């Protein structure tokens, strides 16, 4: 079930939410258009920073890259999809149009491995 965020509903974003976002305008190899994203911001960030959200784009194209983490859990998408961990973005919450579901803890744990590596955390 997709919850419409712009309709003024009480839908909240959580770390692990799969949401639909408008990622245009972009440059180069950045993912663009209306597409699913995974919210990776911490709970504290989401509570304090109410106008922005840190996300990773999701693709339905399996490239076989180890850093493209498969979605698991009740993510709400109608096909197999992968989180593109190399494309961390901070976007305005106004870009979020709907929340489709939530990934499981194992997916977030796998994503965190690559975020720690890429960001040297």
Listed by start position, the domains of the chain span 3-119
Q: How confident is the model at residue 71 (pLDDT cuts 50, 70, 90)?
A: very high
Q: What does the mean pLDDT of the chain come to?
A: 88
pLDDT, tens digit, 9 for 90 and up, residues 1-52 = 444 454 444 458 999 999 999 988 766 666 667 899 999 999 999 999 989 9
For domain 3-119, give the CATH number. 2.30.30.110
Q: Are 101 and 75 in contact (CB under 8 A)?
A: yes
Closest CA to 89 of 107, 67, 108, 115: 115
Q: Can you tell me the distance from the alpha carbon of 40 to that of 47, in angstroms, rounded to the nearest whole number? A: 13
pTM: 0.87
């Amino acid at each position: 079930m997709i919850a419409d965020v712009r309709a003024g509903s009480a839908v909240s974003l959580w770390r692990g939410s799969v949401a639909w976002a408008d990622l245009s305008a972009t440059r180069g190899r950045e993912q663009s258009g209306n597409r699913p994203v995974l919210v990776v911001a911490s709970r504290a960030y989401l509570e304090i920073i109410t106008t922005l959200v840190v996300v990773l784009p999701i693709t339905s194209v399996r490239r076989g890259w180890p850093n493209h983490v498969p979605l698991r859990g009740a993510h709400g998408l109608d096909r197999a999809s992968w989180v593109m961990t190399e494309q961390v973005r901070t976007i305005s919450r106004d870009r979020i149009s709907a929340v489709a579901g939530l990934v499981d803890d194992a997916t977030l744990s796998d994503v965190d491995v690559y975020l720690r590596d890429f960001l040297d955390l």
